[in-house]
Chains A and B, each alone.
Chain A
């Protein structure tokens, strides 16, 4: 069964550096999402992407964040000038249509030092 894959599984970065988290959604899916989960807290929506543009974003998704689908397969989340509070699990998800559940990747654990 096709899967959503995320790389790296764990990223350790110095505060102030930029990170790029990568996701390969399932190939015939059309809607893509990024979520994060800070340790001990709820899964939080960051951004959704459809038809090569952001369709919705949360208040967390400020100018520090950006997403791209550079080549039709990868879906990346860039975090500029990372802060300690950006440490979290970041999950990518995709779905073919909105009546179907989302398929999640295994997540990237981001640790900011």
Chain B
């Protein structure tokens, strides 16, 4: 069983605040890390696919970094908006497998 942890479990911020949260995963035998955004009553939507140590990806106000040597990825949201409210899931793929292990997610609520 692979240990994929996300923190914090939940986060409440005010509109306009910037925020970040963490996904940690086994640092040995890394293949890829995916970030998904999951709004209530919808399906998870892919945000980023991260494969190389030092990767930085950006989509609008959301960005992510990857450190495979120490086994973590950060997701940043700049200037949070109420529509950013969702659960953010990471999924870790070990080398030699295309089966992801998901974290529990970070639930973000942005208050207007």
A interface residue count range (under 10 / 10 to 19 / 20 to 34 / 35 or more): 20 to 34
Given A31-B98, A42-B104, A99 contacting B43 (CB threshold 8 A): no
| CB <8 Å contact, B32 and A107 | no
Q: Identify 12 new A-B residue pairs, CB closer than 8 A, beyond the known A4-B43, A42-B102, A102-B34.
A: A31-B98, A42-B103, A43-B89, A45-B102, A48-B99, A99-B51, A101-B34, A101-B46, A102-B100, A103-B46, A104-B36, A106-B42
**Interface pair A98/B98, CB less than 8 Å apart:** yes
B interface list, Cβ under 8 A from A = 32, 34, 36, 41-46, 49, 51, 89, 97-105
How far apart sit A56 and B94, CA to CA, in the bound complex (Å)?
14
Give every chain B residue within 8 A of A91 (Cβ-Cβ).
Answer: 43-44
Some 10 contacts from A to B, beta carbons below 8 A apart, are: A43-B44, A45-B99, A48-B98, A48-B99, A56-B98, A56-B99, A101-B34, A102-B34, A104-B36, A104-B44
Question: Is A28 an interface position by the 8 A CB rule?
Answer: no
A105 sits at the interface (CB 8 A): yes
